[in-house]
């Protein structure tokens, strides 16, 4: 996912650069650092930087207004203090039309959902990795050895453990892991909900792919309304000083503003390498997330269903029951630590939960809360699990 989104941002930046060089020429190249900064901040946000998306986008439009205001009023001299006053009118005058508001909403929702989803995948991987490293208890090891190797001592070389016997041993050995299941399933459901957002209204690809056209539309809107915007700014910030006649004319000529700024035809836009791969990527991940539900509670069954581990549900009278080749008569215990109080095969101290696994339960709970916020379009803090 990380590589995909990096490529997506790189493609969007290249697309914008190519389009603006062709459309606005030298004017764009003289101000290109403004747009480079925008993509630097978007990338920094995605990889976990301390970036407030809304503030960053507001700053971008304010800086763009300052640059544009100089270009549409080349006959005036503007101090830095005056331009700072101009930027304060961005929200009030809406010089770029409704583009900034819509883009801010779309970018914020899409980036929050994408980053949080990628974070969720990282947390899932981290949880599995840490839980897999948890060693079995001495009692669990003893029960497992008894199940697998004691038949050999009795000369029952070809006799496999009874199915329910295997279940009790594995549920005892994996008692703590079983307690992950509830929080894990809630987490998986939350991941699937955010995945639906990525396929629909929060699709980062559909937001970033046309971002060059949207910003260009905003610039055109500013040009068309430049006289009204300028007059209102002059009223609020004061009348600026006029440049000398020669400098003013030369400035207007050098800017090439009126001749270079033109509407851009969306049909001319280059296609991005990412294409529609986000849909395929999300569809693939969703399928894996669905399969991962009930992973921890299914572990004992998945192990005991292996023909090397037990006889399965057939030949229930021809299996190793822990003491002889005979039927296994004990009831199967439930999943989780508390259910092992009466496990006949593994001695489990239900008062001492494994702390590594308890921490993973808490990590899932925290991530689930962030996913729910992302689903609602609210920004969430980045979790660094590296």
On whether the CB atoms of residues 361 and 179 are closer than 8 A, the answer is yes
Q: Are residues 317 and 263 in the same domain?
A: no
Q: Are residues 191 and 326 in the same domain?
A: yes
Domain-embedded: residue 116: no
On whether the CB atoms of residues 96 and 219 are closer than 8 A, the answer is yes
For 137-188, how does the pLDDT look when each residue is reduced to its tens digit (9 = 90+)?
999 999 999 999 898 888 888 899 999 999 999 999 999 999 999 999 999 9
On whether the CB atoms of residues 53 and 112 are closer than 8 A, the answer is yes
Domain-embedded: residue 346: yes
Domain-embedded: residue 107: no
Domain boundary among 222, 240, 271: 271
Q: How confident is the model at residue 244, as a pLDDT?
A: 66
Domain-embedded: residue 121: no
CA–CA separation, 332 and 324 (whole Å): 18
Counted domains in the chain:
2
Domain with 217, as residue range(s), is 2-97+210-271
Beta strands 76-77 and 241-242 are antiparallel
Q: Are residues 62 and 38 in the same domain?
A: yes
Q: Are residues 215 and 160 in the same domain?
A: no
Q: Are residues 152 and 87 in the same domain?
A: no
Q: Are residues 188 and 75 in the same domain?
A: no
Q: Are residues 184 and 293 in the same domain?
A: yes
Domain-embedded: residue 110: no
Strand-pairing partners, residue 241, are 77
Q: How confident is the model at residue 270, as a pLDDT?
A: 39
Q: Are residues 217 and 361 in the same domain?
A: no
Question: What does the pLDDT profile of the chain (386 residues) look like in tens digits?
Answer: 778 888 889 999 999 999 999 988 888 899 999 999 999 999 999 888 788 999 999 999 999 999 999 888 888 889 989 998 988 888 888 899 999 999 999 999 999 999 999 999 999 999 999 999 999 999 999 999 999 989 888 888 889 999 999 999 999 999 999 999 999 999 999 999 999 999 887 888 889 888 999 999 999 999 898 899 999 999 999 998 887 655 544 444 444 444 344 444 444 433 444 444 788 888 899 999 999 999 999 999 999 999 889 988 888 888 999 999 999 999 999 999 999 999 999 999 999 999 999 999 999 999 999 999 999 887 767 655 54
Q: Are residues 7 and 81 in the same domain?
A: yes
């Amino acid at each position: 996912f990380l590589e995909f989104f990096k490529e997506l941002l790189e493609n969007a930046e290249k697309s914008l650069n190519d389009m603006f060089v062709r459309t606005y020429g030298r004017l764009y190249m003289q101000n290109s650092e403004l747009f480079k900064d925008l993509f630097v901040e978007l990338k920094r946000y995605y990889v976990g930087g301390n970036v407030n998306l809304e503030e960053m986008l507001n700053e971008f439009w304010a800086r763009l207004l300052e640059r544009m205001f100089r270009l549409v009023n080349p006959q005036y001299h503007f101090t830095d203090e005056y331009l700072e006053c101009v930027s304060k009118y961005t929200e009030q005058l809406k010089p770029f039309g409704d583009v900034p508001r819509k883009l801010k909403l779309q970018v914020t929702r899409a980036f929050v959902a994408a980053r949080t989803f990628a974070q969720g995948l990282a947390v899932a991987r981290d949880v599995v990795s840490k839980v897999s490293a948890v060693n079995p208890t001495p009692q669990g090891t003893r029960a497992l050895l008894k199940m697998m190797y004691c038949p050999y001592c009795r000369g029952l070389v070809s006799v496999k453990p009874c199915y329910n016997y295997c279940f009790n041993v594995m549920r005892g050995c994996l008692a703590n892991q079983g307690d992950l299941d509830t929080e894990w399933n809630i987490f998986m459901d939350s991941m699937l909900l955010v995945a639906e957002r990525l396929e629909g209204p929060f699709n980062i690809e559909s937001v970033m792919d046309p971002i060059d056209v949207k910003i260009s539309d905003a610039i055109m809107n500013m040009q068309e309304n430049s006289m009204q915007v300028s007059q209102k700014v002059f009223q609020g910030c004061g009348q600026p000083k006029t440049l000398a006649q020669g400098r003013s004319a030369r400035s207007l000529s050098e800017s090439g503003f009126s001749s270079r700024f033109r509407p851009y035809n969306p049909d001319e836009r280059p296609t991005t390498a990412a294409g529609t791969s986000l849909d395929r990527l999300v569809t693939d991940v969703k399928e894996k997330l669905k399969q991962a539900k009930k992973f921890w509670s299914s572990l004992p069954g998945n192990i005991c269903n292996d023909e090397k581990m037990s006889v399965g549900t057939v030949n229930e009278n021809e299996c190793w029951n822990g003491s002889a080749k005979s039927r296994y008569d004990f009831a199967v215990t439930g999943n989780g630590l508390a259910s092992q109080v009466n496990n006949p095969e593994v001695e489990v101290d239900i008062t001492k939960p494994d702390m590594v696994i308890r921490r993973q339960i808490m990590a899932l709970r925290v991530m689930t809360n962030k996913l729910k916020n992302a689903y609602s379009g609210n920004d969430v803090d980045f979790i660094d699990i590296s």
